[in-house]
Each structure stands twice: as structure tokens, then as C-alpha cells.
Structure 1
Amino acid sequence: MVDAATAPAAASPPSWLDEGPDVPEPPQARARLGRLIGGVYRQWRRQVDQSVKDLGLTDATRAPLLALHAADGPLRQKELAHALLLETSSLVRVLDQLRGMGLLDWDSDPNDRRTKCIALTPRGRKTVARILTRSLEIERSILVDVTPEELVVLRSALEKISRRFDTL
């Protein structure tokens, strides 16, 4: 039995987090981590957007295709919205657009006729393969100066940060 005297202390946040906004920072630390992550993401997304422009795709239209590819099979509209962290109604226009492009299609769910089961078409699967190929080329060029060890640490830190959002 563990009592208060022998129980491990609750993990406390790192001391540098206690420093308030009035604490002077060295010039290289002025950019807040969230802003840095957001900026890197926007630049990265811009590069990928440019690389798939000829396919008629944007970030908003790529995301459902990639989520369907990752699911390796049809998804209900609600499941797809959840995977994309969106409201179901937010997907309607994009799904109609992608269907019009021949990249995905849907049928009624056999268990619930009110629900759509959305799947990639053969053309959609080919398009996803092109997106992934181009994205990988961009990733390789962006990460050329980052060592494998640095990538492991970066991925680990970002995964910890991401999991932390689930507890907030």
C-alpha cells in the first residue's frame, strides 16, 4: 500500500514553463513553439499545394482522399469527418467536389440507408499515389539537413505534445 509519504510526486511542469511573458528571452527563443510549428506546417503545406496544383487539389480536397487511403476502405461520412477533425456538415461541399472529379464515390450504408459509405474510386487511388509520391519528394528535400537521430527526437516530442491535447 502506498501512502502520501511514499507515493511518487506528481510530475511537475519544467521550470522554464514557470517563466512568465515578462521574462526576457534570448533573441533565438522569441518565436513561441506553437507559432514555429504552425509556420513550418503552413510552409510545408504551401509546397505540397504547389506540387499538386496540376491535379486540381488543395489542402481541403487532399485531406479526405488521404484519410480514405489511410483507412484502407470505405468510411462513413461521420467517420471521415472525425478523422479530419471536422464537423460532418463541413465535408459536404468538398465531398461533392471530389465526387464530381471522379476521385471518390459513395453508396448507402447497408446497415443504415441514411448514412453514406465513402470510398476512393480507381482514379482516386491513382491520384492519392501521385500525391504521396510528390509529398515524399518534398519531405525528403525539406529534411535533407536533419539527421535521423534528430528526426526520431522531433517525432517523439511532437507525438507527446499531440497526446497531451487529449488530456486537456
Structure 2
Amino acid sequence: MTSGNTNKTQADHLRSDAEQRLEFQHQYTLAGLKTLQLINGGAILALLTYAGNGGTADVSNFKVAFALYAAGLVLVTLAYLAAYASQGAYMSDSGIRAIEYDGMKAVSEKSADEYEAIGNNSVKASVGLVLASLASFIGGSYAAFLGIF
């Protein structure tokens, strides 16, 4: 085997590794978003169950907790939408670049760089929304704790 073939084989291996790691990242991201939906929604159900079974609690704290858990659900849903928008922008970016690499002119309202910037901004928005959702869950849990004890 020549040095050129070895380099190509190594490059192919590294590309395959990168693709697999991207898929893992995708799976972990989805799991994280689903977990935030689950814990915020589950917390709302737990509050309603506690109140429905005649648990003694400070109602004002429970209202705050309920509102924060509901806000957490809305925020994680918006994070899903921002993540979806990022992938649409990155797809457009890649499509335009592929057409241009083939020597043709892409017909698009925006350039590949503009789509890439939209994708980057959407990812940043999604991460911020996820962190805000997590903060809502923590705040709601604290308010629920104060309401019970």
C-alpha cells in the first residue's frame, strides 16, 4: 500500500468517525430537549396531583411554580423550533455551496454565508432557550419546595 492510499484510508476513517460523532451529538441533543419537556410537564402533573389530593401548601408559591414549569415547557418548545430553523439554514448553506462547487450559480435570495449566519444565530438562540427552560424548572422547583415546606 502506498503512502497516498494510506492517507486516503485514514481520511475516510476520520470522515466516518466525524459523521458518527455528529449523529451521537444529534441523539444527545434530542434526548436533552425531550428530558426538559418531560421534567417540566411532569412537575406540572405532580403539582396538580399534590393539590388534588388535598395536600397542604402555600397556594401563591404553587402558582409561581406552575407558571415557571409552564414557561419551561414553552421555552423548550421554542428551542426545538430554533434548532429546526438552524438545520434548515445549514441545509440551504450546504446546498448553495455544493451548487457553486459544481461551477454553477445558485439561485437564492441569500448567500451561503448569510444562511450559515442564520444557522449559527439559531443555534445560539436554541441554547439560550434551553438554559432558560432549565432555569425555569429550577425556579419552579424552588417555589414548589417553599410552597410545601
Answer whether TM exceeds 0.5 for this pair: no
TM-score (norm 2): 0.26
Higher alpha-carbon Rg: 2
Structure number with the bigger relative contact order (C-alpha 8 A, sep ≥ 6) is 2
